[in-house]
Amino acid sequence: MIRVVLPYHLRNLARVSGEVSLELPTPATLAAVLRALEARFPALRGTVIDPASNQRRALLRFFVCGEDWSHLGLDIPLPDMVLGGAEPLLIVGAISGG
Amino acid sequence: MGKVRLLVGTRKGAFVLKSDGKRENWEVSGPHFAGWEVYHLKGSPIDPNRIYASQSTGWFGQIIQRSDDGGQTWQAVGNGFTYDGVAGTHQWYDGTPHPWEFKRVWHLEPSLSDPDTVYAGVEDAALFRSSDGGQSWSELSGLRGHGSGSGWAPGAGGMCLHTILLDPSDPQRIFVAISAAGAFRTDDGGQTWKAINQGLRSEHIPDPTAEVGHCVHRIAAHHSRPQVLFMQKHWDVMRSDDGGDRWFEVSGNLPSDFGFVVDVHAHEPETVYVIPIKSDSGHFPPEGKLQVWRSKTGGHQWEALTEGLPQSDCYVNVLRDGMAVDRLEPCGVYFGTTGGQVYASSDSGDSWNAIMRDLPPVLSVEVQTLP
């Protein structure tokens, strides 16, 4: 089980209040988690990965076990701590804007 | 007597306001989609409970919401806006070719005959259509393929397709307007398009009378007379009596012929409303006086409507989707400001009341007239 923490606006869009739990075969990559997230919550389609560029949206970040994975690409397998649910995958919105 | 429902899009969410035919007391719900920009909401003219909304942010991109119960509950539908074929390039600010990139939906125009069909005007400028209630979207790419598309350039607000007018007398005819390309018309349901900018004069482009390149801000028409169009251009208020084939200026005695909105009285096709803005550099009302100007003669002669509007120290703007008229008797007129006020008139503009004073900056106002 993989735990995903969504930013406030995406929790509202998905109509969830806390963490999201996803069941995925292991090993699993960030891309696989995001695909599973969109499959379970269709309202989130295109909100994390821009479908036109297939890139992470610029004002979002991925934090994994205290490290910033935002620039590592989407196809690296996630660590066991995340795959086993001991640590969540954090999708974080930039603290910016008016 | 009838009722009205106002759909207000703002920088930080949407608001739905309801009133009876007197239009004195308003029940407010919202913010819906709190914290998101809502560029536009609009209801189906044949199923008023069906409302479409454009919700977006720079963080998470574009969402389309649909309500089937008059704005009480909402469902996110499809947000796949993919340009047809090879997207190609348009002209960038520095004159270089720039790839067409989807940014947001500026305007949603539900079909006049089918609640599941809705058109979307987007930035970078293109027209999309859904025929399944917003679940999936297809580009009407004949517009960008008109031949001039590679020469279109963005205005300061982006290269947006912001106006969609459906002709009630001819389902094959659609008018659109793009900043800063101009106005276009299709007579075959969107397959082929014609630039309809003859008569426009724009001093900010190298050839002031060029076929395209004009910064059209809004076009409006009366439903009974769709061949007569009124336009608020970057500068100049214009009129066409032949479906846009030829335009002539009707700015007349307006204190400024710059502005964004234009709309037509619901029952008097020659009665037109604009809100003059001081200039393209100031973007606020002349002398700090917020005034709606009304012509009862189809342009040329205009009168200031001031009762109930601030006549000193007012420096708001009214954006292009920010005015609407209802179909009650007398006709109601509404507009929203960048200062967060929504003003309403239940007497065709003779007097005004601020029915909301402290919303986020208003991006759009639409009104539904209900039984």
Question: Are B82 and A51 an interchain contact pair (Cβ–Cβ within 8 Å)?
Answer: yes
For A17-33, the pLDDT digits (tens) are: 999 999 999 899 999 99
Question: At CB < 8 Å, which residues of chain A contact B?
Answer: 7-10, 12-13, 42-43, 45-48, 50-52, 57, 59-60, 93-94, 97
pLDDT of residue B280: 82
Q: Tell me whether residues B76 and A9 touch, CB distance under 8 A.
A: no
Q: Is the pLDDT of residue B93 over 90?
A: no
Name the nearest CA neighbour of B226 among B340, B66, B63, B112.
B112
Query: Residue B156 has what pLDDT?
Result: 82
CB A73 within 8 A of CB A55: no
**What DSSP designation does A40 have?**
H
Positive or negative CA dihedral for B129, B131, B132, B133?
positive
Q: What is the pLDDT of residues B98-129, one digit of tens each?
A: 999 999 999 999 999 999 999 999 999 999 99
In angstroms, the CA B294 to CA B299 distance is 8
What pLDDT is stored for residue B349 in this prediction? Answer: 98
pLDDT band at A98 (very low <50, low <70, confident <90, very high): low
A89-93/A2-5 β-pairing? parallel
Given pLDDT bands bounded at 50, 70 and 90, which one contains residue B281?
confident
What is the average pLDDT across B175-180? 95
Residue B91 vs residues A42, B145, B180, B197, B302: alpha-carbon distances, Å: 35, 15, 11, 19, 37
**How does B33-71 read in b/e, with b if 16+ C-beta sit within 10 Å?**
bebbbbbbbbbbbeebbbbbbbbbbebbbbbbbbbbebb
Residues B173, B191: contact at Cβ < 8 Å? no
Mutate to test the interface with B, among A6, A12, A47, A55 (most CBs of B within 10 A): A47
CB contact under 8 A, A46 and B76: no
Q: Which residue has the tokens 């340009």?
A: B83
**Rounded mean pLDDT, B12-28:** 97
Average pLDDT, integer, range B41-68:
97
Q: B40 to chain A nearest CA, in Å?
A: 18
CATH architecture of the domain with residue range A2-93: Roll (3.10)
Cα–Cα distance measured from residue B53 to residue B110, given in angstroms and rounded to the nearest whole number: 11
Q: 3-class SS at B104?
A: strand
- pLDDT at position B157 is 84
Partners of residue B124 in chain A, C-beta under 8 Å: none
Confidence of residue B198 (pLDDT cuts 50, 70, 90): very high
Task: Please say whether the beta carbons of B335 and B261 come within 8 A.
Answer: yes
Residue that the structure tokens 């986020």 belong to:
B360
More confident residue, B88 or B231: B231
Q: Are B39 and B321 in contact (CB under 8 A)?
A: yes
Looking at residue B128, what is its pLDDT? 98
- The vertex-B294 CA angle with B315 and B291, nearest 5°, equals 15
Whether ipTM > 0.90 holds is yes
Contact status of B63 with chain A (Cβ, < 8 Å): yes
B86 lies within 8 A of chain A by CB:
no
- pLDDT tens for each residue of A26-52: 899 999 999 999 999 999 999 999 998
Q: Write the pLDDT tens digit of every residue in B345-365.
A: 999 999 999 999 999 999 999
Hey, CA dihedral for B103, B104, B106, B110, is it positive or negative? Answer: positive
Which residue in B has a C-alpha nearest to residue A10's C-alpha?
B60
For residues B273 and B294, the answer to whether their CB atoms sit within 8 Å is yes
**Residue from B321, B305, B304 nearest B361 by CA:** B321
Alpha-carbon Rg of chain B, whole angstroms?
19
Q: What is the pLDDT of residue B155?
A: 83
For residue B11, what pLDDT is reported? 98
How confident is the model over A43-86, as pLDDT tens digits? 999 999 999 889 999 999 999 999 999 999 999 999 999 999 99
Task: Name all domains of chain B by residue range, CATH numbers in brackets.
Answer: 74-357 (2.130.10.10)
Mean pLDDT of B172-188: 97
Distance CA A20, CA B216 (A): 46
Give the pLDDT confidence of B297-334 residue by residue, as tens digits.
Answer: 999 999 999 999 999 999 999 999 999 999 999 999 99
Nearest to B30 by CA among B59, B10, B45: B10
Looking at the predicted structure, is the pLDDT value of residue B226 above 90?
yes
Closest CA of chain A from B358, distance in Å: 16
Place of tokens 């947000």: B79
Average pLDDT of chain B is 96
Buried/exposed code over B252-274 (b: 16+ C-beta within 10 A; e: otherwise): eebbbbbbbbbbbbbeeeebbbb
Q: Report the run of H or E that residue A12 belongs to, with start and end.
A: helix A8-14
